Structures are given as structure tokens and as C-alpha cells.
Chain A
Amino acid sequence: MPTVSQEFRSRFGVLGIIVVVVLSALLVRLWTMQVLNGESFAAQAENNRVREISIQAPRGRILDRNGVPLVTNRSALAVSVDPSHEDVRALLTRTWTKDTADDPTSRELDEMFGEVATLLGTTPADIWDRVTDVQQEALRPRVVAVDVSMESVAQIAERQTDFPWAVVEEIAVREYPNGNLAAHILGYTGAISEEQFKNSDEYSGYERGDTVGKSGVERQYESLLQGDKGWRRIEVNASGRAQGVVSEQAPRPGNDIRLTIDAAVQAVTEDQLDAAIAEAHRQGYNSSRAGAAVVLDIETGEVLASTSRPTYDPAAFLGGISSAEWETLNAKTSEYPLNDRAVMGAYPPASTYKVITAISGMEAGITGENTTYTCTGRWTDMGKQWPKWCWKRTGHGTVSLRGGLKHSCDTVFYEIGYELYKRGEEELQATSREFGLGAKTGIDLPGESAGRVPDAAWKKRYNENYPEYQMWLPGDTVNMSIGQGDMLTTPLQMALVYAGLANDGNIMRPHVLRDVLGSEGDVIRTIEPEVLHTTGVSAELLGVVERGLVDVTETGTAKGAFAGFRPTVAGKTGTAQVKGKDDYAWFCAYAPAEDPKYAVAIIVEQGGHGGSVTGPAARNILAHLLGQELKTIRTTDESR
């Protein structure tokens, strides 16, 4: 009997060939994958297995000039919402659709977040607000509450099954040991904005959700304070769960920086500004809420103190500020507490500016220390139809330039201004600019205002669409000569003007950074004093001005504020008129007059009179600086 094989041999042959072909095909495929492309696949496997996560570097501390900590770090318990949790993601998906009709209703939010919101002392709407914040790395947990009490944390942790999307974690936050002290200089921190994030030059290497400086020194010296992120390469499984650390690089903490600010001087300055505002209220100026004060070291340009009112609490920004709080801080009725009026506020300098008019006039040779003027209270040199009034309606009688400073007689400066106008060389503007007005001082703080020195070219440009207002008129120079009209300066600029008067006419570049510390606390960079403007005003002319300013505090418009004060102070009151507002009170000074060390400028918006509101505040600030006793001074001096 023939075996099957004889009849079917060819068919088995075909089958054998099929077997060999199939297995060979698999083998060839494996050869290409494992041997020819093995390295590329190996790299992919490694990439699969290892995730790199960044480790935030501790932010550098900010110290005062003596090493007193102004901003440090601490850890805080934070509750976050995990946006990748399915329940949260379901709601988020509906928010992100164009159709707003399917957005989560307040009832749904209440059901989801209501209990946690109550535990955290916030609202479901606020929690949702923070969760939907698009300025975050998509998967990063959204911090909804910082400094949560242990009790609340325990309750949330206990009920993890009810709130599976809630994450309790310890995060590093800024700490402000002195509360609001120097809030405007220090600034606040917050999550990097989309705009900042896309500014790749300055913020390269940053991730969405990173904490960055938003204002003040925190913003200015972000690159020093930030440090370098570390990283940790972790092995993860397919569900992304960490299995272990493969390698890590510790972060490099940010540099500590030392400011020129003196915490003690700063505290006194803030107290005195608050006291000045309180005094304004006492005198019936009830709209007064805002102001600023700057204290400079004359020889170096170092800012010893700088403050602005109203102020804010930088700690409110920890872990992200709620939109309700943010809106409050930016509402018109709140008078913009985030603005640092010391460098951003542009005010008419009023009579504090008269020193510039005096110098400009003397340099032009049209006046001198003892040149006399007659003040009748009403000045009509420009024509009877355009009368100007001295603040003292009854007139100062016969008065010299020096007396004009002492009594702040407007008529004297109208006359000088009118003469300067007639010369037609814009010398007043030139002198103003020599003293740094109308330009940014270049202080190392963000958002500085340049102020304004008006001139013919400016007026023409400014009134581009109103041809009838384009011409520079005598009244423009006359108004300017008493620091009114279109003249605008910041408190910092005025402090610099007075510092320059005291420093042989040399104006130093103002700065708030003193030095940068290395990881061992060693100084790795020091800011050297730098001359910003050399005015070239002669010692003789500076002497005239100084004698006038000393008169002010001894027998002039600020005699009440400085009664009995030693050493001698060279100062000037100012009372700025602002349309539709109560008068703004100014005081600028330097001291001691014989050997000047400090310059002060202070303004209280709608505070009334410089002599009685800001003068006493300046006096006490100088008293602290010069080791004198502080005093509460009440004068009814209504002079300007």
C-alpha cells in the first residue's frame, strides 16, 4: 500500500515552503527591528521609562541693608485640585467648549466643591476660578488654598474618597516677617503670566505655573532670586506612577540680595506717611488716602526708605490671588494700592519746584539772592486780563529771592518765569532736565514714570488735534515756574533734586539693590555709586538756594514743623493744585544743611498744606535718621 506521501509529496513540499517562508519573514522583520534599529528602539524605551520632573529652586531672600530679612521662605500646607482627575476633567471639558450653555452651573460646582469650599473658607466659584486658570501647566495641580489649618487638612484627607480630586501638599511660599513693610519696594510674586512665559529671552527655562516676581524688587531681580531648577529623573510605569529615582540634580537656590533699604528707617517713614494722612483728616481733608515718601542717601543715591499709600499685603498673593481680591486691588475706588506712587506717581511739584526756577533765573542773570520784588497778592504783568494770584492774597510786600523761597512767594517766581519766557530760550526746561526731571531716573524698580517737563514742542505735539492750544504762551512758563501747569514729577525725582542741591549739584543714580550674596553669604556683587546728572550749578548759586531753604525751616513756611529742630534742615513746602481735587501737600528737604547726608521727599494726595501735613512727617523722618526725638507736631500753618 503506497503511503499518502507518494501521492501528496508535492503538496507537502508546498506546505514546507510556506512554513519556511513565514518563519523567515518573521526573522527578517526581527533582524531589522532588533539588530538594525535596536538603538533607536532602545532610546524610545528609555524615554518611555524615564520622566524628568523639575525641582523648584528656593527663591533667594531679600534682606535690608543691615541683613534684616524682609522676604524669606517658608513651607505652607496647600490644598490643590487635580485637573486631571476624571470628575474635574469632565467639568473642564465642558468649560473649554465654545458653547457656554453647557458650562458647569453654580449648582453643579456647589455639589462638587461646596463642602471643601466651606472647609477652606472660600466659595465653589472661587475654587473653580482657580482650577480653570489657563495660565498653568495643564497637569499641574491648581492650588486653591494656602495656609490651610491642620484641622481642615485632616478632614479633607480623611474623606479622600469623597474628594478624590483634592490634593494636600506642602509648598514653599514667600514669608514676610514684617507684614506689609516696604510692600511696594519688595513687590509680590505670582504664577508666570502667559505674556511673560512667551517672552522666551527673559523667561527661558521657565514652566507654566512657575512662581515669578510680579512687581518691585521681586520682579526687577527675578533672574537673581529665581535660582536654577534642579531635576529628578524618575522611572515610571505605564500609568505614569513613579517607581524610583534614576538620577537627580539638586536645584541651585536663588541669590539672597541685600537692599539699600533700612528696615528701621522704612518703618518710621511708613508711620510718618500714615500720620501725615491722619493729620490731613484731622484738618478736614477727608478725601486724603494716598501718598508717597522717599528717603535717599545723598552721596550714593541709595534709597534708604520708600513707601506708597494705600498699600497692600503681599502675602495675599501666596498660592494665587482670587479674582475677587484682584478686582478689589485694581478698582478705581481702592486708589490702586498696587501702584508704587514713589516712582510711578506723577504730580505737579508745586512750590518744591521753586528751587529750580531760582537757579534757572540766577544762571540767566535775571535774579540774585537779594534781588527784590513787590508782591501785592495780585500780579498782572502779563496784562490786566490775565491776573495771577500769590497764595497769600494780601501780598508779601517787598521780598527778595531768598525771601521768596522762605515765604514761598508766588509773585517772585511769576516774575522770574515771565522774564525767562521773554528770553525765549526755554532755560527753565533746560535746568529742570539738568536736575533729572522729565526723564526716568533709571532706578532699579519696574514701572517708573518719567514725569513731564513741558515745552513748546511738547505742547504742539500734545494738542495735535487742537490747533488753537498749540502755542506756548507766557502763562505756560509762569505756571511752570511755581511747579504747576503741565509740570509733573515723581516723589523720587523731587527727592533726587534736593539730594543734588546738597551734593554739589551732582545727582546720583538712585538704586534699591545694595549687593548680591553668594551661597556662602559672601558678597559677590556690589552696586557702586554712579553720577546720573552733573548739573554744573555753581556752589555760589547752590548757597543762595540753601540759605533760602534753611530760612524755610527756621523762620519760613515750615517753621512750625521744625521748631527747635537741630541740626539745620534745608527744606521746602509745596501745595499742589489739582483740578477737581483738594490740594496735594508736599515737603522736600535735605539735612543736615552743613554736612548733608539725607534727602527726603513726601507727598500726601489731597492732604492740604505742605507746612502742616507733610512738613511734620519729614521732620520726624529726619529726626530718626539724625538721632533726634520724634514728636507729634500740630501746626495750623496754612502757608504753601
Chain B
Amino acid sequence: MNKTIGQRILDRVSVPLVAWVAALLVYGTVMVASATSSMNSGSGMLMRHLFGIGVGLVPLAVAWFIDYTRLRGWQGPLIAFGAFLLISPRIPGLGGTAKGATSWLEIAGTRLFQPSEPAKLIFIVIFAAVIANMKGRVDTPARITRALLYLAGAVFLILMQPDLGTGMVFVAIAVVMLVVGGMKAKHFAFLAVAAAVFVGAILGVDAGLDEMAGRDVGLKDYQKNRLLVFVDPDIDPTDAGYNLAQSKIAIGSGGLTGKGLGSGTQSNLHFIPERHTDFIFSVLGEELGFFGAVLLLGLYLALLLTALAIANSSRDLYGALIATGVLGMWLFQILENVGMTVGMMPITGIPLPFMSFGSSSMVTNLGAVGLLLSVWSRRYGAGS
């Protein structure tokens, strides 16, 4: 076949995927610009956001060019590296603490990144291999238990930080991959009940421990509060409940068409907390209204369906599972992040993919795009 270089590259690129991601990056940049415009260091923040996108192109290219099937042979090193990433903030001299969680990698006082972000991708790759090795038949208690041990290990390390939100992302990734991996509905139901009982027991035991120790040990109170506030926002209107209330006011007051870019009063007058990171959607909802939200959700729908199509097109189960994992990660983060700003989900520090300010997450998401492209470009077999 006589294909030009251009055609060959085009063949390896999922044009829709790149288009949707590019659209989201533009949209996100516009929103970050608006959200940071009233900050002292607003333009600097925007530069950092663009820098994050630039840096993210590196893992995107690397993941794209590596033949994902070769990753399957690196299971041991990947597990070791993933575990190291999750433990690293706890290693003296490497960790940094923000908002109660030691989730930053920090060397000599300089914050580098949140290692739990790239660890998500590593987990996806590892978990995909685990399920693929079972040939997509994760339908016996023994197999399910084996698969869940990988998840449990990862979640345990994350809760050591402790970062509840990221832990939930890992669970969500695993659930979505297990759907494709063939786990049965009855098993999901059983695990859901078991998990509920387990969480209840944990909270109970933690309360008991706090009582006995006379101080806040185990799970941090702010984490429990966030969950409780989700159930009843009136519990603590000044802190977590305040954030939720202000976010809802911002989004609700945006109405159909919004207050106009850069004109959100809730945003510019600092009523919305973390407005350029976790609560960027509140700014979008306020300034661009329902139309702006529909546009964003539409882009996400297109992105996720494209990811699903890529999974569907994969030449092997392993690739399909990787694509599914990425889809699960994004889907859950969208649900959790947008959901928390409108009071449907508890408040956690989960960024909105491609929209939130924050390089760790941006780089990770672009790396995930690289993984999808890797699966897509090898849909007809290696080197084709």
C-alpha cells in the first residue's frame, strides 16, 4: 500500500478523540482564565495552566508511541512503580501536605506533583492485565477476590495519605473495568452491600477510636464532615456546607444563559472556594449558564462515547480494558466533580478532567489520551 506519511499518521490518530479533547482544553483554558482573572496572580495562573497542557503532551506522545501490548509484560515493575508513587508522599523528604492529605510529592520545599494522579493510569494498565489474564471471565468468587486484592492494595495505600476522593476514583475505575471484565450483577450487588456494611463499620470503629484516644485519629474529621454535609448541608454551613451552598448559588444563579464570561459575582467576589480547581464548574455554571453546562456535558458525552468506540475497536481485550479504565476514570471524575458542585455528590478534591487548573491532573489526563491513541492506532495489529 502506498500511503503518504500524512495519511499514515492520520490513520493512527482518532480524529474525533483529538477534536473533543482539544475543544475541552480550549473550553477549560477559557474558564481558568475567567476564574483567575480577579486573582492577584491571575495571568501567572493561566500561564501555569497552559504549561501543564504543554507538559502533558509528553506523556501523551510517549503513551501513544509505545505499543500498549508490551506493557503487559511489565506487570511486576509497574506494580512496584505504582506502589512507590502512592507511598512516596509519606517518604520523609518527599512528601507535602495540603488540606489534610499528604498527597504531594515535594522535594526541597518545591511541590512537584500529586503522584496519585499518574498512579491512576498505572492502576488501569495493571488492572487491565489482571482481568485480561482471566480472559474476561471474572465471574467466580475466587477470580473476583483475586482482582479485588489489586484494588484493595491500591486503595489501602491511598487511604494512608489519606485521600478519600482519589480512593473513590480507583474504586470507580475498577467497577467499570469489572463490568467489561464480565463480573455479574449479583456479584456487584453483593459487594455493594458488603461495602456499605464495611464503611458503616469503619465509621463506627473510627468514632470509637476518636472517643478512646480523646483526639481525631484514624479517618480525619474533615473527611467525615464532607460526607455528612452531603447528606445534610445544614450541619456546618460555614465550612464544607458553606462551600456547597455557595457553589449551588453560583450555578443556580447562572440561569439559562449565565452572567457572562468574567462577570460571575460569586466567582469574582471569592464566594466560590477553589474556583479555578475543584469548583471550576461552578464558575462555568454561573457565567455561562445552562447552555454552557450543556455544551460541556455534550463534549464529555462525545469524549466518553469516543473512548467507548476505541475500546470497542481494540484488537484485544487488554486494549479494550485499558480504554474502558480511562473511560471509567473520566466518567467518575465528571460525575463526582459536577455532582459535588450541585449537591448530588459529597465534596471531595477531585478535579474536572481537562477543565480544572492543576498540572498533575492535566498531565495524567493527557497521558490517558495517549493510552487511548495507543489502543486506537494498533486496532489492526502491531505496526499496521
Closest to B175 in A: A18
Main secondary structure of the interface of B (DSSP, over half): helix
Looking at B100-108, B336-344, B357-365, the stretch in contact with chain A turns out to be B336-344
Q: How far is the CA of A23 from the CA of B312 in the complex (A)?
A: 20
What residues on B are CB-neighbors of A243 within 8 Å?
Answer: 269
* Residues A38 and B327 in contact, CB atoms below 8 Å apart: no
What residues on B are CB-neighbors of A7 within 8 Å?
Answer: 136
Indicate whether A33 reaches chain B with its CB closer than 8 angstroms: yes
Indicate whether B122 reaches chain A with its CB closer than 8 angstroms: no
Nearest CB on B from A236, distance (A): 7
Indicate whether A238 reaches chain B with its CB closer than 8 angstroms: yes
* Residues A38 and B269 in contact, CB atoms below 8 Å apart: no
* Residues A31 and B344 in contact, CB atoms below 8 Å apart: no
Give the residue of A18, A29, A239 whose beta carbon is less than 8 angstroms from that of B344.
A29
Interface string of B352-380 (1 = CB under 8 A from A): 00000000000000000000000000000
With A16-B305, A31-B290, A44-B253: A8-B180 Cβ-Cβ less than 8 Å:
yes
* Residues A45 and B334 in contact, CB atoms below 8 Å apart: no
Indicate whether B293 reaches chain A with its CB closer than 8 angstroms: yes
Indicate whether B90 reaches chain A with its CB closer than 8 angstroms: no
Q: How far is the CA of A44 from the CA of B308 in the complex (A)?
A: 41
Closest to B185 in A: A14
Tell me the A1-32 residues at the B interface (CB within 8 Å): 1, 3-5, 7-9, 11-12, 14-16, 18-20, 22-23, 25-27, 29-31
Q: How far is the CA of A20 from the CA of B250 in the complex (A)?
A: 25
What residues on B are CB-neighbors of A37 within 8 Å?
Answer: 252
Q: How far is the CA of A525 from the CA of B331 in the complex (A)?
A: 76
Nearest CB on A from B328, distance (A): 8
Q: How far is the CA of A12 from the CA of B301 in the complex (A)?
A: 15
Nearest CB on A from B186, distance (A): 15
Q: How far is the CA of A231 from the CA of B285 in the complex (A)?
A: 32
With A30-B285, A33-B342: A45-B250 Cβ-Cβ less than 8 Å:
yes
* Residues B269 and A8 in contact, CB atoms below 8 Å apart: no
Q: How far is the CA of A25 from the CA of B344 in the complex (A)?
A: 9
What residues on B are CB-neighbors of A4 within 8 Å?
Answer: 311-312, 314-317, 319-320
What residues on A are CB-neighbors of B266 within 8 Å?
Answer: 45, 48-49
What residues on B are CB-neighbors of A18 within 8 Å?
Answer: 176, 179, 331
Give the residue of A1, A9, A22, A235 whose beta carbon is less than 8 angstroms from that of B331.
A22
* Residues A34 and B251 in contact, CB atoms below 8 Å apart: yes
* Residues B269 and A235 in contact, CB atoms below 8 Å apart: yes
The size of the chain B interface, using a CB distance under 8 A, is 50
* Residues A8 and B136 in contact, CB atoms below 8 Å apart: yes
Nearest CB on A from B127, distance (A): 15
* Residues A238 and B271 in contact, CB atoms below 8 Å apart: yes
Nearest CB on B from A545, distance (A): 78
What residues on A are CB-neighbors of B301 within 8 Å?
Answer: 19-20, 23
* Residues A22 and B313 in contact, CB atoms below 8 Å apart: no
Closest to B345 in A: A26
Nearest CB on B from A586, distance (A): 68
Top 9 closest pairs, chain A to chain B, by CB: A41-B252, A38-B255, A45-B253, A238-B270, A237-B269, A42-B253, A34-B290, A41-B253, A5-B312
CB within 8 Å of B: which residues of A? 1, 3-5, 7-9, 11-12, 14-16, 18-20, 22-23, 25-27, 29-31, 33-35, 37-42, 44-46, 48-49, 235-239, 243
CB within 8 Å of A: which residues of B? 136, 176, 179-180, 182, 246, 248-256, 265-266, 269-271, 285-286, 289-290, 293-294, 297, 300-301, 304-305, 308, 311-317, 319-320, 324, 327, 331, 334-335, 338-339, 342, 344
Q: A4-B314, A4-B316 are in contact. List 20 more A-B contacts (CB 8 A).
A: A4-B311, A4-B312, A4-B315, A4-B317, A8-B180, A8-B320, A19-B331, A29-B339, A33-B248, A33-B251, A34-B289, A35-B256, A38-B252, A39-B255, A42-B253, A44-B249, A45-B252, A49-B265, A235-B269, A238-B269
19 cross-chain CB contacts under 8 A: A5-B312, A5-B313, A8-B180, A12-B311, A14-B179, A15-B179, A18-B176, A20-B301, A30-B290, A30-B297, A30-B342, A34-B285, A35-B290, A40-B252, A41-B253, A44-B252, A45-B266, A48-B269, A237-B269
